Amino acid sequence: MSPKTETLRFQAEVKELLGLMIHSLYSHREIFLRELISNASDALDKLRFEALTKPELLSGEERLAIRLEVDAPARTLSIRDNGIGMSHDELVHNLGTIASSGTRKFLEAARAKGDAATPELIGQFGVGFYSSFMVAAEVTVETRKAGEPHGWRWRSKGDGEFALEEASGVARGTTVTLALKPVEDDQDFAEPAELAALVRRYSDFVAYPIEMAAAHFKERGDLVKSTAPDGLEVARLNSMQPLWSRPKDEITPREYADFYRHVTHEYSDPLETLHFKTEGGSEYTALLFLPSERPFDLFDPSSKKSHVSLYVRRIFVMAECEELVPSWLRFVRGVVDSSDLPLNVSREILQKNRAMAQIKKHVTKKVLGALGNLAKERRADFLTFAKNFGGVLKEGVVSESGEGGERDALAPLLVFQTTHEDGATTLADYVARMRPDQKAIYVLCGEDRERLARSPHLEAALAKGYEVLLFTEAIDEWVLERLREFEGKPLAALDRGDVDFVDDAAKQELDGLDREHRGMLESLEQKLTGSVARVRFGARLVESPAALVDEPNTIGRNMARFLAETGRPAPERRRALELNPEHPVVRRLIELHKEDPTSPKVAEFTELLHGQALLAEGSPLADPGRFSKLVGKLMLSATS
């Protein structure tokens, strides 16, 4: 007589909810295998935990494992475990109600009893099982609870109802069998090689062996093969032992390097390895790497903002987890494995909770600390790192608010080009070399080192023996806006505002020149209306007759260009034409203006000085043709 079959309906408006889960909840169909293996791992953990107080449930010699069984012609896939199993009522409740998690109920019951040895379980929510319907036309579950005499068979097509019947001959544990849908996107889940690859990607570090019949992999010698208790020769698909869970003193540099290449697909060794564990409020282990080479997509806006994967109790949950590190640490590679992190129903998007924020803060602190040690102990390696990734660290200075942020920790790690013989320097090294009479950290922004090295803005600083930082990266100008001082020394841009290179007597002399020649300066300002805000005498030039200087609080050239390229309105860039009163050309201009303020030569000299200043800083001329004619006219007058 065949067993009686119950036909039951799902609860909680299952048709709508199943549609959401099958079509929207998960971004990749292949995730179903991770979910089912995670459930199987949980079932094995539960059995081990129950056996602590009920040793009759588990023989000390029994081997716990997860097995995948595939029948390609029939297009079926089974995931089998010999774990705790489920009773009739548990099947109805756990698989008949969306988001009712047997794992969660188990944890609550264990804690209520005061059990201190609660096993580490994932599956805090009960929807992972339903991801099976993304790939299966029908799902069958056969299960027998540990300690019970008979088992049960659950079957559903995900259409709003399920059938449940008693089943004989069912071994302790659970077997989930999927009647696979036709192949989509060339990804065949009835193909053993495809399943093996998914296990390696998502469940490589599950603590129990994940096996398949060795006959599927006759040509592969890289898999561990053995004979299972039922006599079948099986191949183990997962490594079972995550590198990060082993003591650091037992891991060789080569093992770290091999793991780095495994998670990054790089060929080079990492520049630095960070392996640490925290306990207390949030327990987790991290194995992180600083790359030795710069990836091609580091500054690609469409690329991911993190390359750190999240595991929870050795189960892969999310690659490129942006909640683990700030975007300006996107060069960091590796994994974080949490013991107690809560997840949301999809496991694709983490809850933004206090525990996650603490992990992110601590990981960030550890990485910055490692970079600080690298700068002190391995300067050459640090400078190589800065050349590859320094621009990303500068994003942190720009993006952090300052209050509770990492700007103070980031500042000593920034590297800039410099006029010093070393060619590149940190701010701390710069400050250590400052002359006793130097009042500020002098910087100059521009597009490249060679052009800046010829800038007239450097003349007075170099004449006094002052070192100048050359801000050649586009982001450096934003850094200057946020990082106003370092170790009590203000940062002063040589092409902006008033740079104090002179003593009080010299200042008074400049003020006197401004008053004496105020008429000429106003005349020049009028001729350059729309091009400069003012014309003045200054002390930052030695060899050049004139230079353009940004007024205080005006936006810089890079920022103005960025706003223009992105179609955003840019505030007016107020600039001054600063004249060198000691230069022969400026002296001649003063004489011409005294002789005849309305002379065309005054206007032409003014245009030439302004054009020369633009060319010296690498800016385009408003009217190159006009400037060329004036230069030609000047050359003819000099030879006549």
Instruction: Find the mean pLDDT for residues 63-82.
Output: 97
Q: How confident is the model at residue 347 (pLDDT cuts 50, 70, 90)?
A: very low
Helix (H) or strand (E) holding 587: helix 584-595
Q: Between these two residues, 295 and 427, which has the higher pLDDT value?
A: 427
Q: Between these two residues, 121 and 210, which has the higher pLDDT value?
A: 210
Instruction: Indicate the residue type of 53.
Output: T
119, 120, 123, 129: CA torsion to nearest 10: -70
Instruction: Indicate the residue type of 403.
Output: E
How does the average pLDDT of the chain come out, rounded? 85
End-to-end CA distance of the chain: 124
List, in sequence order, the alpha helices (H) in 52-191: 88-96, 102-112
The answer to which of 75-79, 109-113, 169-173, 404-408 has the lowest mean pLDDT is: 109-113
Q: How confident is the model at residue 222 (pLDDT cuts 50, 70, 90)?
A: confident
Question: Strand (E) positions, 204-357?
Answer: 210-213, 224-227, 233-236, 272-278, 284-290, 307-312, 315-318, 333-338
The helix/strand/coil state of 494 is: coil
Q: Which of 255-264, 349-358, 381-390 has the highest mean pLDDT?
A: 381-390
Query: In this structure, are strands 489-493 and 485-486 parallel, antiparallel, or unpaired?
Result: antiparallel
Instruction: Find the mean pLDDT for residues 408-413.
Output: 92
Orientation angle between helical segments 518-527 and 600-617, nearest 10 degrees: 70
Helix, strand, coil abundance in the chain, percent, nearest 5: 40, 20, 40
So what's the pLDDT on residue 356? Answer: 82
Q: Between these two residues, 458 and 97, which has the higher pLDDT value?
A: 458
Closest CA to 312 of 201, 422, 203: 203
The helix/strand/coil state of 74 is: coil
Instruction: Find the mean pLDDT for residues 26-34.
Output: 78
Q: How confident is the model at residue 174 (pLDDT cuts 50, 70, 90)?
A: very high
**What does the angle CA 184 – CA 187 – CA 190 come to, to the nearest 5 degrees?**
100
Instruction: Find the mean pLDDT for residues 315-327.
Output: 83
Q: How confident is the model at residue 429 (pLDDT cuts 50, 70, 90)?
A: very high
**Pair 458, 494: CB distance under 8 Å:** yes
Instruction: Find the mean pLDDT for residues 217-246.
Output: 91
Question: Strand (E) positions, 482-545?
Answer: 485-486, 489-493, 534-537
The residues spanned by each domain of the chain are 5-236, 243-376, 504-639
So what's the pLDDT on residue 584? Answer: 94
So what's the pLDDT on residue 8? Answer: 75
Instruction: Indicate the residue type of 270.
Output: P
Task: Give the C-alpha separation, 190 to 198, whole Å.
Answer: 12
**What does the angle CA 107 – CA 122 – CA 106 come to, to the nearest 5 degrees?**
20
360, 365, 370, 375: CA torsion to nearest 10: 130
The answer to which of 51-55, 193-197, 244-248, 417-421 has the lowest mean pLDDT is: 51-55
DSSP states along 263-281: HH--SSPPSEEEEEEE-SS
So what's the pLDDT on residue 15? Answer: 57
Cα dist. 214→5, 69, 82, 200 in Å?
Answer: 36, 11, 19, 16
Task: Give the C-alpha separation, 97 to 86, whole Å.
Answer: 15
Q: What is the pLDDT of residues 547-601, one digit of tens each?
A: 999 887 777 776 776 666 667 776 777 889 999 999 999 999 999 999 999 999 9
Task: Give the C-alpha separation, 211 to 196, whole Å.
Answer: 9
Instruction: Find the mean pLDDT for residues 275-287.
Output: 88
The helix/strand/coil state of 527 is: helix
The helix/strand/coil state of 135 is: coil
**Pair 541, 578: CB distance under 8 Å:** yes
Whose structure tokens read 């608010």? 401
Q: Between these two residues, 130 and 345, which has the higher pLDDT value?
A: 130
Query: In this structure, are strands 468-471 and 173-180 parallel, antiparallel, or unpaired?
Result: unpaired
So what's the pLDDT on residue 270? Answer: 95
Q: How confident is the model at residue 403 (pLDDT cuts 50, 70, 90)?
A: very low
So what's the pLDDT on residue 344? Answer: 46
Instruction: Indicate the residue type of 200.
Output: R
Q: Across the strands, what pairs with 635? A: none
Residue 351, pLDDT > 60, answer no
Return the half-sphere exposure (C-beta side, CA atoms, 13 A cut-off) of residue 250. 6
Question: Strand (E) positions, 11-113?
Answer: 66-71, 76-81
Helix (H) or strand (E) holding 576: strand 575-579
Task: Give the C-alpha separation, 461 to 133, whole Å.
Answer: 71
What CATH number has the domain spanning 243-376? Answer: 3.30.230.80
Question: Strand (E) positions, 325-462?
Answer: 333-338, 415-418, 424-426, 441-445
CA-based max dimension of the chain? 124
For the record, the structure tokens of 284 come out as: 């987790």
**Pair 90, 145: CB distance under 8 Å:** yes
List, in sequence order, the alpha helices (H) in 239-311: 253-264
Percentage of the chain with pLDDT > 70?
87
Residue 342, pLDDT > 70, answer no
Taking domain 5-236, whether its CATH number is 1.20.1440.230 is answered by: no
For 504-639, the fitting CATH number among 1.10.260.40, 1.20.120.790, 1.10.1240.10, 3.30.499.10 is 1.20.120.790
Residue 1, pLDDT > 50, answer no
